[in-house]
């Protein structure tokens, strides 16, 4: 039988690593190509053509094999009551509450974290003190490393596990495990798309050189510098202090928002729809002021989508820790487009990755990663401030 390289169009490969993990003789490895994305590499001297890598590839299988999702998901708008947890969360703190429950039950939580080099990696934690590492959005493709094996070993020891990630990562894990485990809770996010770690690392190096300082941390959406629902900002911690940059003025962040820098498979994502692969799906509840105005808060509101009976049962045990409002599919998908379709292909995506390794990053920014005009941006900000002041004045007069 053929192997994964001959059977799967690599433009559709999500890099989930199921093929690597399932190979019994380690003939398949995930290797970075020039773009910085990981793809399977076959060691032909080892490969026995058993076909397991093909049989277990989620991209070659129907979604039905991954999980038995309920035709009638239970959907909430929610915000955790724990204020400190809410501040460190990107939206309404739903992930924190789920993870906290697993850890307190003696389990392990897997999710994406930045290491000391600002590499996006999946790690497992079993302490509440470590939970902050997994909170917050990281708009970078994460390295799953050996987490699939770690998850399987922990489950076999009869401990609970929460595994969070993009839908394609959840699909890869489920395929690798070959069966559902009672104590496994999978949590997928509504994913916009994933740029490569290499692109992000080059950007961080460029910033460090530009500012003549070391970059210690990069937060894509910190509530300490911008309230939820307001224009997004990057909060960058350096040895010289903290810099706050509006997303539209940040080359990397702005390109992410516009969908210019994703893995090729992201533009054809089979998981960008309402048939979710995780037991629970989490996202920002965009449009909350329109559909559930009582739940609107500058502190954030989560979309909590419960797809399976397991997910519903688990959430029922922790729902008292939330301010909740029941919602529906129509409201949940109205302003979350990737619950309906993938991001549109970018006409400059291939140029960015083709030139990334030969151009200075500043030149790459000028040619392809252009931001908004700073002066026009400031004028727009002043315009919005003036508009809101007039609205407040009118409300005062109407009293």
pLDDT tens digits along 208-263: 999 999 999 999 988 888 888 788 899 999 999 999 999 999 999 999 999 999 99
Question: String of b and e for 75-110 (b: at least 16 CB within 10 Å)?
Answer: bbbbbbebeebbebbbbbbbbbbbbbbbbeeebbbb
Which pLDDT belongs to residue 337?
95
Tell me how far apart the alpha carbons of residues 211 and 20 are, in angstroms, rounded to a whole number: 40
What distance lies between CA 325 and its chain's CA centroid? 24
Burial of 237 (0-12, 13-18, 19+ CB in 10 A): middle
* Local structure of residue 90 (DSSP, 8 states): S
| Residue of 211, 208, 255, 217 lying closest to 236 (CA atoms) | 217
pTM of the full structure: 0.92
Token digits for 66? 């991954």
pLDDT digits (tens, 9 = 90+) for 315-339: 999 999 999 999 999 999 999 999 9
**Is 27:42 a contact under the CB 8 Å cutoff?**
yes
Confidence check: pLDDT of 71 > 70: no
Confidence check: pLDDT of 66 > 60: no
At residue 50 the predicted structure's pLDDT band, cuts being 50, 70 and 90, is very high
Instruction: Indicate the CATH number of 4-61 among 3.30.70.3270, 3.20.20.70, 3.30.70.270, 3.40.50.2020.
Output: 3.30.70.3270
Average pLDDT, the chain: 92
**Is 94:80 a contact under the CB 8 Å cutoff?**
yes
Over residues 273-278, mean pLDDT: 94
């Amino acid at each position: 039988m053929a192997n994964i390289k001959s059977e799967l169009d690599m433009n559709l490969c999500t890099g989930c690593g199921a093929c690597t993990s399932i190979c019994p003789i380690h003939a398949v490895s995930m290797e970075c190509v020039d773009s910085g994305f990981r793809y399977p590499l076959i060691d032909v001297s080892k490969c026995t053509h058993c076909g397991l890598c093909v049989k277990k590839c989620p991209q070659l299988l129907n979604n039905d094999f991954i999980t038995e999702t309920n035709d009638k998901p239970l959907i909430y708008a929610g915000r955790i009551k724990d204020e400190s947890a809410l501040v460190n969360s990107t939206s309404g703190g739903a992930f924190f509450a789920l993870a906290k429950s697993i850890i307190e039950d003696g389990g392990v939580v897997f999710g994406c974290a930045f290491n000391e080099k600002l590499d996006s990696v999946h790690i497992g934690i079993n302490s509440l003190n470590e939970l902050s590492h997994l909170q917050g959005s990281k708009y970078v493709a994460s390295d799953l490393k050996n987490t699939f094996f770690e998850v399987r070993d922990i489950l076999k020891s009869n401990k609970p596990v929460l595994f969070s990630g993009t839908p394609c990562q959840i699909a890869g894990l489920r395929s690798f495990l070959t069966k559902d485990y009672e104590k496994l809770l999978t949590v997928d996010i509504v994913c916009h798309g994933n740029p490569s770690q290499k692109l992000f690392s080059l950007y961080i190096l460029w910033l460090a050189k530009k500012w003549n300082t070391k970059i210690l941390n990069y937060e894509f959406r910190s509530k300490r510098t911008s309230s939820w629902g307001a224009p997004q900002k990057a909060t960058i911690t350096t040895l010289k202090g903290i810099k706050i940059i509006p997303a539209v003025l940040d080359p990397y962040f702005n390109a992410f928002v516009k969908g210019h820098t994703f893995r090729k498979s992201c533009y054809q994502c089979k998981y960008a729809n309402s048939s979710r692969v995780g037991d629970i799906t989490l996202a920002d509840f965009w449009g909350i002021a329109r559909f559930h105005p009582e739940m609107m808060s500058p502190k954030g509101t989560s979309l909590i989508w419960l797809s399976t009976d397991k997910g519903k049962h688990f959430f029922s045990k922790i729902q008292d820790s939330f301010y909740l409002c029941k919602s529906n599919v129509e409201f949940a998908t109205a302003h979350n487009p990737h619950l309906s379709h993938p991001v549109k292909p970018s006409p400059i995506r291939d140029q960015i990755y083709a030139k990334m390794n030969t151009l200075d990053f500043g030149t790459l920014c000028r040619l392809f990663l252009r931001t908004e005009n700073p002066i026009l941006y400031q004028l727009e900000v002043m315009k919005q401030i003036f508009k809101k002041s007039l609205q407040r004045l009118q409300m005062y007069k109407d009293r």
